[in-house]
Chains A and B, each alone.
Chain A
Amino acid sequence: MQDTVLSVQHLSTSFFTDEGELKAVDDISYDVHQGEFVALIGESGSGKSVSALSILRLVGDPPGKIVGGKVLFHDTDLLQISDKEMQEVRGSKISMIFQEPATALNPVMTIGNQIAEPLRVHKKMSKQQAFREAASLLSKMKIPNVEQRIKQYPMEFSGGMQQRAMIAMAMSCQPEILIADEPTTALDVTVQAQVLEELNQLRLSTNTAILLITHNLGLVARYADSVKIMYGGRILEMGSTYDIFENPHHPYTLGLIRAVPRLDQPKSYGLHTIKGEPASQEDRMMNNCLFVKRCKYATDICWKQQPKAEEISEGHMCACFHADFTAAEREELLR
């Protein structure tokens, strides 16, 4: 493996409300290597967005607060540095794109102005220089008529073009890591594929690591190098894309894969769901397996203890007491 650029260690983020502490992210650890495409998968409320926002310290405080852990960028703990030092990291070393490009771009600033801004702040470029650079970035993102487009406002762009402008903005300072928080969810299916393909091309040419947050397993299988499965604020299983899709061990991962409809299955196979509800706050506060209520393999021990992540093969971790029990289902699913 190449050099580790980001190492998240035991990161925990909570929200403090009138009802008490809500654990959004609970003790997660993973590494991101140079140029790697990492996917963070989980259902709504599983803490994937909050964990990503925590890396850049963008969780709204109050009510959110990072309560523990380290975020090592090279050897610097991003959670320890000053606000000013953090500003120098954001948009320059680590940048981020968001789910809804329509609301994530400032409606009263021109596209060119918004793309040029990080260049002017971080690279100290002059106005003309930054605009020229912004234009070339936009044309790299396959936006036609750049000279004209750059003077327009976000509302004059289509959704796909807005997201491309966001990507151009985030990539403007050639960051080492790009965090993409469900970047294609708000887009058309055809545009989704294009945007992700362009993002991937950009990664390959700049060697920027991508941390993609999504619940689209298809995208993950196609592009990701490694996958983390999040549930209730914790990582249940993680490994290479091959490990997760061809050798899944956690009952939840199996459930997710089973839930993806496939064209080669007979109609009678139907649509599969994972029964039950996502882990509630009460579930998260108790000392048991988070998935226990929805798991068909659950036994007494699952109700009494939290399973530790155990290594199945190199780099493939699974937090389940009964990872062995799933062998039969795995066989059946992947047949």
Chain B
Amino acid sequence: MARYALKRVLLLIPTLILVTFIVFMLMRIIPGDAVDYLVQVLQSSSGGKTIDREAVEVMLGLDKPLLTQYFIWLNDLLHGDLGDSFFMTGTVSSIISYEMPATLELVILTFLLTTVISIPLGLLCAARQDTITDNVIRVISVIMMSVPVFWIATLILVYPAVWWGYAPPMTYVSFFEAPIQNLRMFFIPALLGAITSAGGQLRNVRTLTLEVMRQDYIRTAWSKGIKERMILLKHAFRNTMIPVITMLGGSIGYLLGGSVILETMFNIPGIGQQLTTSLGMRDYPMVQGCILLISVIAMVINLIVDLLYKAVDPRVEIE
């Protein structure tokens, strides 16, 4: 098991190198240029003075050949240096390390709520297949899946404010400083995120459970005189969990990518917000740093999911 984990971690290295290359090149391929933008900004701030384009290029290190730039970045990366932001004061790592906790907290909370909503409801639907309970939950799940998150978020922000004069707190405090205040800020956006992703997940849990309930070993369990509840929880659940883990693990990537909307609407200083702003300004080092970090998180989660298989399914042979 430990050897397998080590092997998987080592395998992450080539993947990581590939990711750095793609991230770096993607930024250069997209139209628009950080230099143009910076020249514009400098011109307007200096009251119309002509700015030397080439000087700006040299300043940002963009005058060198593309591959040289890539290797400089890679070299710095190996030394733990993600570079400096083009437009903001501070290094990329300092900005990211300030913003990452908020995003991670939002994603983790959303993920936990998604799991807590989708697994029990999915099981309930499967146990009560084609009854009113099942149908009602399924209809609600379709609504959950199809309503855009920004729309419910708008309603939640506007109506309580109008009716009761209540608005969710909008000032960020770290969880470790003031946990209750922090959770009051994060709970609503996390719940909204969970509602949109739990709709699909609970339908998957339902389908997968029904699939398992048709298996021969479930019929065996019935023939042993075991109660329905125990069959569902003891015999079916672990078998259902094998594909469910893959699904839920995979959803974390989407949650990371989708966090930007909720971060923006609820004023959470997270990496999603940072990424969109930096992309708009073509802040190469910033965008590269953010995407790299998100990729690493996604890779680590995939690794955890793979290792979890062994815990759930004894048939998975790990060597």
Contact = CB atoms under 8 A, between A and B. Distances in A.
A155 B316 CA distance: 11
Give the dominant DSSP class at B's interface. Answer: helix
B224 to A, nearest CB: 4
A58 B219 contact: yes
B227 interface: yes
A105 B315 contact: no
Interface string A94-126: 011010100111111100000001100110000
Contact of A92 (B221, B225, B312, B314): B225
Interface stretch (A83-91, A264-272, A315-323): A83-91
Nearest to A90: B225
Interface string B289-319: 0000000000000000000000011110000
Contacts of A153: 314-315
Contacts of B227: 87, 121
B226 interface: yes
B224 A98 contact: no
A103 B224 contact: no
A122 B227 CA distance: 11
Nearest to B230: A121
Interface string B221-233: 1111111000000
Interface string B208-224: 00000001110111111
Nearest to B222: A58
Given A155-B314, A155-B315, A104 B226 contact: no
A113 to B, nearest CB: 9
Contact of A96 (B223, B234, B313): B223
Contact of B217 (A87, A90, A105): A105
A89 B223 contact: no
Is the interface on chain A under 10, 10 to 19, 20 to 34, or 35 or more residues? 20 to 34
A108 B224 contact: no
Nearest to A89: B225
B220 A105 contact: yes
A87 B225 CA distance: 4
A199 B315 CA distance: 29
Nearest to B217: A106
Given A91-B225, A117-B226, A121-B224, A104 B216 contact: yes
B60 to A, nearest CB: 56
Contacts of B225: 87-92, 118, 121-122
B238 A98 contact: no
Contacts of B216: 98, 100, 103-104
Given A103-B216, A105-B217, A56 B226 contact: no
A15 to B, nearest CB: 15
A106 B239 contact: yes
A104 B219 contact: yes
A169 interface: yes
Residue with the greatest number of chain B CB neighbours at <10 A, chosen from A108, A117, A166 = A108
A153 B224 CA distance: 18
B217 A58 contact: no
Given A88-B225, A118-B225, A121-B226, 12 more contacts: A56-B222, A58-B219, A58-B223, A91-B223, A98-B216, A103-B215, A104-B216, A104-B219, A106-B221, A108-B313, A153-B315, A169-B224
The 5 closest A-B CB pairs, nearest first, are A90-B225, A91-B225, A91-B224, A103-B216, A106-B217
Interface of B: 215-217, 219-227, 234-235, 238-239, 312-315
14 contacts: A87-B226, A88-B225, A91-B225, A92-B225, A104-B217, A106-B217, A106-B220, A107-B217, A107-B239, A107-B313, A107-B314, A108-B313, A118-B226, A155-B315
